Amino acid sequence: MEIPKQYDPKQAEEHHYSRWEQAGFFAPEANQDRNAPVFSIVIPPPNVTGSLHMGHALQHTMMDVMTRYKRMCGYRTLWVPGMDHAGISTQLMVTRELKKERLTRHDLGREEFVERVWQWKQESGGQITKQMRREGASVDWSREKFTMDEDLSRAVREVFVRLYEEGMIYRGNRIVNWCPNDQTVLSDLEVEKVPQAGKLYYLQYPVKGSDERITVATTRPETMLGDTGVAVNPRDERYRRFVGSTLLLPLTSREIPVVADDFVDPEFGTGAVKVTPAHDPNDYEMGVRHGLDQVVVIDTHARMTEAAGADLAGLDRYKAREAVVEQFEELGLLERVIDYEFSISKCERCKTVVEPLISLQWFVRMEPLRDLALEVLSKEKKPRFSPESYDKVYTNWLENIRDWTISRQLWWGHQIPAWYTETGEMVVARSLAEATAKAGTAKLTQDPDVLDTWFSSALWPFSTLGWPVETDDLKTFYPTSVLVTARDIIFLWVSRMVMMGMKFMGREPFADVYITGTILDPQGQRMSKTKMNGVDPLEVFDKYGVDATRIMLASVGSTDSRWNEKQVESYRNFANKIWNAARFALMNSEGARIDPRTLAKSEDLALHDRWILSRLNKTTRDLQAAIAGYQFHEAVQTLYHFFWDDFCDWYIELTKADVTSEAEGPQRIQSRTRLLSVLDQALRLLHPFMPYITEDLWLRLPGAASDLLHPAYASASPTIMLAAFPTMRDELIDEQAEWEMQAVIDLVTRARNLRSEMNIKPGERVSVLVSSPDEQLRSVYSASADQISRLVRASKLQISAASEAPRASARAVLTGGGEVAIPLEGLIDFEQERQRLGKEQEKLRAEAVKVETQLANPSFVERAPAEKVNELRARIADIAQRTAQLQQTVENLQ
């Protein structure tokens, strides 16, 4: 069998995914075990307009690692894919399309527009689902969902109606965040505060019946036209006498009262605040408290209304600001203007400055829902956040929660299931039929607004499983096991899923929440479309392969880190290493096939076999612990180290002589079998992280057949993705073998170091003389003499109790107090050699001093655990042995 020297990711990525998908391996039904434990994840639904970015790739990697891992462990595994209809984004996308045809959505009308959106979705939406296939995501496509699907829409209406009937959804006039560009209301979470350099204007309002004036400070002079009062702190001596008096509002003919309110901070500005209930959230509250009028002077397009006066009506808010300031100046009522930095509210999506407006909208009362979420958190610790610190952020937000504005003035989305009769009466119902029955008339008009996209997302963990129908899926897979997402949607999404899950399912939607880190650009900035600094995962896939990208992303874990292509490159090299290790095993596999029985404990195992089995089992144990604790970085490090250092650098080298032996026979077959079997196990460990290369190689291994699959998938065709994940076997962890192997590694490394220091040509074979006073070590060296000779390229390896090296030798001291020497007649510069060993002595002395000082400290010996004290005593003993040996070695130079 010809295997190329370099791994070609594209070739492996071409075939396996479609085979897996078509064979139904991703579906939970692949699992034939009725009693199998269950593992489920719902994907954070990407926007239907979206395409794959690094954040998706990161999250999907984590989810796929967990899903593939659990699947191989025999769990009935479901990862639900799907997409979000993404109200505003999608509507804007299609609106832009229409613009090319010189049409607006109003030209089409609502019904036809919505039809166009569906058409767009059909033709070009959901690019991301193709990209997810490329990623290797083992989602069950047969259960793919879309938030606008009929069944999910039914769930939305059901929730709306039930909440309404309980009085938890209400409609009312409230001050809200209005985006003048998108022409819709926004929830608090969709507004971002941006610091801005601006001005603070000090305006004077004359007191009626007096020559006095009260000065107020404002960043938005144009809103003064809507002032219906001025507020001062009741304890503010300066203004006490004005409370109750009347002010003449300049530029208008209106008179407004001075009121006292604790909200006012006497320290800020002038201590007197203009109150504009219709255009400021705090003023709105104050206005309610004092019964002040609401005068609307700015409309939904951020232009001045008639109420602002004939001169200004129709003017843009910023133009109006200039005009107002000008007029105040002319009237001599502009006291001063100072530079002032403040935060401005912008629409998160289009960055337009939000206008607070009083508007008739739908809201959800959050306190009762919030209490459910807080209760399950305090009583059951659910969800359990990883990293834990996010649970504080989550709790703080819940504690300060405010009502949720759920209506949006859009056409694309779930239309609010409320209907109005001709007489203006309202009915809320699951359908038009139900509404007709309730209202007693068919002459109904449905509320034109749609629901916030996050309303349907909040139901995702149960709506995707069939709710409100009690489906088998719902019973089996809810609550889900874990939610994987980025931290920026903890409030928008995670918390709302918990609240809705508790409310409608009576149980938390997921046990754990794993928050991934953020991949920043190389300068440490967030990647964004506007900054054009994003790295396209698909390009990285093309350049380095999906597997390399995945394992690199997994290693990022939950901390933010800068994008570093070199890292992907190093994992590409890792993939190549795996490829070549397998290549070696395959090139020497004649007569052998995978046989897990050769990985059992047995008396006749060689040291390197006992050692690799111990390493394999420790790796399995550590890997499982790391995955269980969401320590993906650690999991990757464990795998990398095991495969490269333990398996490739040592095991393959140590078993090479047997495996490549010219002599056919049982020993060769056995070593080949064991090599293949260890490789099989290693590939299984790697598979959740690197699905393509592991499948590609595994299928080539002789003996890779259905009998290696987890029993739950026994009837499936061979695939590593359904192979049983290795389990740790305690009896194979062999500390003695690890200790012995460490001695061998130490000897080999020091001998190689001597060769290197002495500039011995790599091809040149030398005599190596090893001595050790320790009989056990001598027998360890002897037992591995052939391999040691091979690894250090020794023509002769002599092992003795006392050093027999000639004076002209390069020498080094071994752990455990032995010596390794290479005779180099005529090549040794004795002075140089003494210096080299002198450095070694220095190091040992320094170490000895450190340890001795600690041991000489009585309180250390008294208070430190005995284990630690013994550890140090063992170390000092070893240092003493090495020091003595070194002394001897130096003397031998004389």
Partner RNA sequence: GCCCGCUUAGCUCAGUGGUAGAGCACUCGCUUCACACGCGAGGGGUCAGUGGUUCGAAUCCACUAGCGGGCACCA
Site for RNA in 342-361 (CB under 7 A): 342-343, 345
Nearest distance, CB of residue 436 and RNA, angstroms: 41
Nearer to RNA, 709 or 814 (CB): 814
Nearest distance, CB of residue 61 and RNA, angstroms: 16
CA 360 – CA 190 distance, rounded (Å):
18
CA 206 – CA 258 distance, rounded (Å):
12
CA 238 – CA 656 distance, rounded (Å):
93
188 binds RNA (CB under 7 A): yes
N residues, the chain: 894
User: How many angstroms separate the Cα of 53 from the Cα of each of 42, 56, 128, 377, 527?
Assistant: 19, 5, 9, 32, 9
Amino acid at 367: E
User: How many angstroms separate the Cα of 321 from the Cα of each of 411, 475, 881?
Assistant: 33, 59, 87
CA 305 – CA 296 distance, rounded (Å):
7
CA 61 – CA 842 distance, rounded (Å):
49
Task: Please give the helix or strand (H or E) that residue 582 lies within, else none.
Answer: helix 565-587
Chain-centre distance for alpha carbon 363 = 31
Chain-centre distance for alpha carbon 454 = 20
DSSP string, 62-113: HHHHHHHHHHHTT-EEEEE-EEB--HHHHHHHHHHHHHHTT--HHHH-HHHH
Region at 590 (left for phi over 0; alpha for psi -120 to 50; beta for the rest): beta
Nearer to RNA, 473 or 840 (CB): 840
**Footprint (CB under 7 A) of RNA, residues 523-552:** 524, 526
752 binds RNA (CB under 7 A): yes
Nearest distance, CB of residue 184 and RNA, angstroms: 20
Nearer to RNA, 241 or 392 (CB): 392
Query: Binding pattern to RNA, positions 249-288, x when CB under 7 A?
Result: ---------------xx--xx-xxxx-----xxx------
CA 484 – CA 748 distance, rounded (Å):
46
Q: Which of 134, 171, 349, 633 binds RNA (CB under 7 A)?
A: 633
746 binds RNA (CB under 7 A): no
DSSP string, 805-816: --SSEEEEEPTT
Nearest distance, CB of residue 217 and RNA, angstroms: 4
564 binds RNA (CB under 7 A): yes
**Footprint (CB under 7 A) of RNA, residues 126-165:** none
Nearer to RNA, 67 or 671 (CB): 671
User: Site size for RNA, by CB under 7 A?
Assistant: 94
CA 546 – CA 689 distance, rounded (Å):
10
Nearest distance, CB of residue 113 and RNA, angstroms: 32
Nearest distance, CB of residue 386 and RNA, angstroms: 12
**Footprint (CB under 7 A) of RNA, residues 460-489:** 487-488
- ω into residue 266 within 30 of 0, thus cis? no
What's the count of helices (H) and strands (E) in the chain, helices before strands? 30, 29
168 binds RNA (CB under 7 A): no
Q: Which of 483, 652, 810, 886 binds RNA (CB under 7 A)?
A: 652
**Which of these segments, 81-89, 244-252, 577-585, 691-699, binds RNA (CB under 7 A)?**
577-585
Nearer to RNA, 153 or 276 (CB): 276
Nearer to RNA, 280 or 696 (CB): 280
Q: To 5 degrees, how large is the angle CA 82–CA 86–CA 87?
A: 140
CA 584 – CA 578 distance, rounded (Å):
10
**Footprint (CB under 7 A) of RNA, residues 360-399:** 389, 392-393, 396-397
Nearer to RNA, 191 or 733 (CB): 191
**Which of these segments, 93-101, 298-306, 531-539, 648-656, binds RNA (CB under 7 A)?**
648-656
On whether the CB atoms of residues 347 and 191 are closer than 8 A, the answer is yes
User: How many angstroms separate the Cα of 397 from the Cα of each of 146, 383, 385?
Assistant: 29, 15, 15
Nearer to RNA, 388 or 891 (CB): 388
Q: Which of 577, 618, 672, 674 binds RNA (CB under 7 A)?
A: 577
**Footprint (CB under 7 A) of RNA, residues 816-875:** 847, 854, 857, 859-860, 863-865, 868, 871, 875
Nearer to RNA, 422 or 649 (CB): 649
Amino acid at 593: R
**Which of these segments, 160-168, 473-481, 517-525, 602-610, binds RNA (CB under 7 A)?**
517-525
**Footprint (CB under 7 A) of RNA, residues 438-457:** none
515 binds RNA (CB under 7 A): no
Token pair for residue 798? 């002599």
757 binds RNA (CB under 7 A): yes
615 binds RNA (CB under 7 A): no
798 binds RNA (CB under 7 A): no
Nearest distance, CB of residue 265 and RNA, angstroms: 3
Q: Which of 520, 527, 724, 728 binds RNA (CB under 7 A)?
A: 520
CA 823 – CA 809 distance, rounded (Å):
4
Query: Binding pattern to RNA, positions 580-609, x when CB under 7 A?
Result: xx-xx--x----------------------
Secondary structure class of 820 (helix, strand, coil): strand
CA 132 – CA 433 distance, rounded (Å):
40
Nearest distance, CB of residue 548 and RNA, angstroms: 8
